[in-house]
Amino acid sequence: MRIVQLATLSATLLIAAPAIAQSTTQAGSSATTSAQTAKTAVEEKKICKRLDSTGTRMEKRVCLTKDEWKKVEEEVK
């Protein structure tokens, strides 16, 4: 059984290695897109709140952006 698992893992790593290498070279060449992504990530920071759930004592954790929380509050009113 261990031999089959080891063979499967080895085959998976051999197949995945070129895909991983290709993605790292693409990431290095697109430094400007990563800077833009970082900028949008800062703008779209998630705000998490704990909300009461009906039918249980457990609180539900909901994470939304600032704009999404505004929309939720408008819908509630």
pLDDT digits (tens, 9 = 90+) for 13-57: 657 666 555 555 555 555 556 666 666 666 689 999 998 888 888
Tokens of 6: 């080891």
38 and 6 fall within a common domain? yes
37 and 2 fall within a common domain? yes
32 and 58 fall within a common domain? no
Q: By percentage, how much of the chain surpasses pLDDT 70?
A: 45
pLDDT digits (tens, 9 = 90+) for 57-76: 899 999 999 999 999 999 98
Domain tally for the chain? Answer: 2
52 and 38 fall within a common domain? no
Q: Is there a contact between 20 and 12 (Cβ–Cβ < 8 Å)?
A: no
Per-residue model confidence (pLDDT) at position 56: 87
38 and 1 fall within a common domain? yes
| Full domain range(s) for residue 73 | 44-77
